[in-house]
């Protein structure tokens, strides 16, 4: 997204100043001013090679430390970061201009409380007449974590917990458009880690993160593993380095609604998911395909649940003109903006601020294939389930990332999951269930489809190693 010249202290002070003078919004309730100690420069280096060298030294100490040290770090992060989440969410929203504070608080809280720690590193043992073989998860060393502008602090929290649990130190490369809030958070994490473990530079970054510093980090010989959470460009770039890459790329998640679905619930769930943090999560509903018999009922329910329905041909064109830029790509200026901002940009009048803009389109409309990353949801119809599934596979575009379906037909749900081949398939729930929010399962903000790890956790950031003991410990 946009690049930023925001200074950390200025950003913190401006948010605190606004918060203290504003009381009309849940999102801007007063937050206490952070102490100077959390705005220090811990872990932040002038250049890439110094940061990588420091992180390597930290890894060596961590690697010789008991497993308990890692879990102590995770416990301390969970405890001490929680009070900072409201400020963190405000900083990220303000700096990136994307998403909303309430949902960012929910996302950051989920990352902090539900990212698995060292318990994720389950060992496996095989014993027999010839002895015992042990399979364990061991660290890589320094992990280069490249984070997106859309979930900047969530990804740092999620990756820090997972990567450190696996025994690694981490070099974070934030998006330049989210650098102030990201560096602020990295410093706090580093100070908590030092306080609890006495190890310095377990998390590092550079004071001026740019695309060039990210490229330099990717090429640094001290960093054996790159974990990239972002669009296809940076994932492909990382894969060309020849290093081990965990690539979490873009998606275009379709939603299928068939005639057996509970339409009222489907409408509520789709609105909740597609409006969450103004649709910036990569898993969020990006287009809906509804079987025609229940299409008008679904649209009616969308309206009852706070959506603004755009179904007149000329208004659909106005939306498309605003959302799609002349080169056929998404208008980046509207990414992560509110539904009201999108309607205003399109020149469409409205009374109450809607939760979501729902746009009725043809099957072949360009909106169906674009990853909009904004609360503007195209909806099209299909004659039956088979046609809906075929179209869903087509518009998902081979990202194999995430898909949703609302149906009571178990056979069809299975058929769709198999045909779509996505890393995540959500049945009868809002898309954020995919992240582990309001659903069973752990939380992740790095969903690695191109490289196959899927929903990542500590074990994804570890090497599998085999340890063989001959003629021993078979006591059966």
Write out the residues near ligand NAD by the rule CB under 6 A: 1, 146-151, 173-176, 211, 214-215, 229-231, 233-234, 248-251, 282, 371, 446-447
Contacts of residue 113, defined as CB under 8 A and 6 or more positions apart, other chains included, come to 78, 82, 443
Q: How far is the CB of 384 from ligand NAD (least distance, A)?
A: 30
Judged by beta carbon, residue 407 or residue 423, the one nearer ligand NAD is 423
Q: Distances from the Cα of 198 to the Cαs of 98, 141, 171, in angstroms?
A: 36, 18, 18
Report d(CA 8, CA 174) in Å as an integer. Answer: 14
Closest approach, Cβ 432 to ligand NAD, in A, equals 13
CB of 449 to ligand NAD, least distance (A): 6
| Complex with ligand NAD: residue 1 or 143, whichever CB lies closer | 1
Residue nearer to ligand NAD on the CB measure, 135 or 211: 211
**C-alpha distances in angstroms, 99 versus 9, 89, 347?**
22, 9, 21
Residue 413 C-beta: closest distance to ligand NAD, Å: 23
| Least gap, CB of 452 to ligand NAD (angstroms) | 12
Q: Which residues contact 167 (CB under 8 A, 6 or more apart)?
A: 59, 62, 63, 70, 138, 139, 462
- Looking at beta carbons only, is 31 or 448 nearer to ligand NAD? 448
In angstroms, give the least distance from the CB of 298 to ligand NAD: 25
Nearer to ligand NAD, 117 or 281 (CB): 281
CB of 211 to ligand NAD, least distance (A): 3
Where does 140-271 show beta strands of DSSP type E?
142-146, 169-173, 203-206, 225-229, 244-248, 254-257
d(CA 410, CA 364): 28
CB of 234 to ligand NAD, least distance (A): 4
User: Nearer Cβ to ligand NAD, position 354 or 375?
Assistant: 375
Smaller CB separation from ligand NAD, 214 or 460? 214
Chain position whose Cβ is nearest to ligand NAD: 230
* Count of alpha carbons within 13 angstroms of residue 374, beta-carbon side: 27
Measured distance CA(226)–CA(103) in Å, rounded: 28
- C-alpha to C-alpha distance for 431 and 439, rounded to whole angstroms: 10
Question: What's the CA gap between 43 and 40, in Å, rounded?
Answer: 9
Instruction: Name which of 115 and 173 has its Cβ closer to ligand NAD.
Output: 173
Q: Which residue is listed with tokens 């998640």?
A: 253
Least distance from C-beta 320 to ligand NAD, angstroms? 20
How does DSSP assign 400-421, residue by residue? --EEEEE-S-HHHHHHHHHHH-
Q: Could you tell me which residues come within 8 angstroms of residue 427 by beta carbon, excluding any fewer than 6 positions away? A: 404, 405, 406, 407, 413, 417
Cβ-based nearer residue to ligand NAD, 156 or 188: 156
Contact 294, 259 (CB under 8 A): yes
| Structure letter (DSSP) for residue 354 | P
């Amino acid at each position: 997204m946009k690049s930023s010249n925001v200074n950390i202290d200025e950003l913190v002070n401006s948010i605190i100043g606004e918060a203290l003078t504003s009381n009309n919004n849940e999102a801007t309730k007063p937050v206490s001013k952070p102490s100077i100690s959390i705005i220090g420069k811990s872990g932040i280096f002038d250049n890439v090679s110094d940061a990588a060298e420091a992180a390597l030294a930290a890894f060596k100490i961590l690697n010789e430390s008991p497993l308990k040290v890692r879990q102590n770090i995770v416990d301390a992060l969970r405890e001490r970061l929680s009070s900072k989440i409201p400020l963190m969410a405000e900083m990220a929203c303000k700096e990136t201009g994307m998403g909303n504070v309430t949902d960012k608080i929910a996302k950051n809280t989920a990352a902090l409380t539900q990212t698995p720690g060292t318990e994720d590193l389950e060992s496996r043992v095989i014993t027999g007449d010839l002895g015992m073989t042990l399979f364990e998860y061991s660290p890589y060393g320094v992990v280069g974590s490249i984070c997106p502008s859309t979930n900047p602090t969530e990804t740092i929290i999620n990756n820090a917990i997972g990567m450190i649990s696996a025994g690694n130190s981490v070099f974070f490369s934030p998006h330049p458009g989210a650098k102030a809030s990201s560096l602020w958070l990295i410093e706090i994490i580093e100070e908590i880690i030092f306080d609890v473990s006495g190890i310095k530079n377990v998390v590092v970054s550079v004071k001026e993160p740019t695309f060039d510093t990210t490229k330099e980090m990717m090429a640094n010989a001290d960093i054996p593993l790159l974990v990239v959470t972002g669009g296809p460009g940076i994932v492909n770039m990382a894969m060309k380095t020849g290093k081990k890459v965990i690539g979490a790329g873009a998606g275009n998640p379709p939603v299928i609604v068939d005639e057996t679905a509970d339409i009222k619930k489907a409408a509520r769930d789709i609105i909740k998911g597609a409006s969450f943090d103004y649709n910036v999560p990569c898993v969020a509903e990006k287009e809906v395909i509804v079987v025609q018999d229940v299409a008008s009922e679904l649209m009616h329910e969308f309206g009852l649940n706070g959506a603004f329905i755009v179904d007149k041909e000329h208004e659909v064109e106005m939306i498309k003109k605003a959302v799609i830029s002349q080169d056929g790509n998404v208008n980046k200026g509207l990414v992560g903006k509110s539904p009201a901002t999108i309607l205003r940009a399109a020149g469409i009048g409205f009374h109450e601020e809607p939760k979501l803009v729902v746009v009725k389109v043809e099957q072949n409309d360009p909106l169906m294939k674009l990853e909009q990353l904004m609360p503007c949801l195209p909806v099209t119809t299909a004659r039956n389930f088979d046609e809906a599934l075929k179209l869903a596979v087509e518009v998902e575009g081979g990202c194999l990332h995430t898909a949703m379906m609302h149906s009571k037909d178990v056979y069809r749900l299975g058929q769709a999951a198999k045909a779509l081949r996505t890393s995540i398939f959500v049945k009868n729930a809002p898309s954020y269930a995919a992240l582990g929010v309001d659903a069973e399962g752990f939380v992740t903000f790095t969903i690695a489809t191109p490289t196959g790890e899927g929903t990542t956790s500590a074990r994804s950031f570890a090497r599998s190693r085999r340890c063989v003991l001959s003629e021993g410990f078979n006591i059966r």
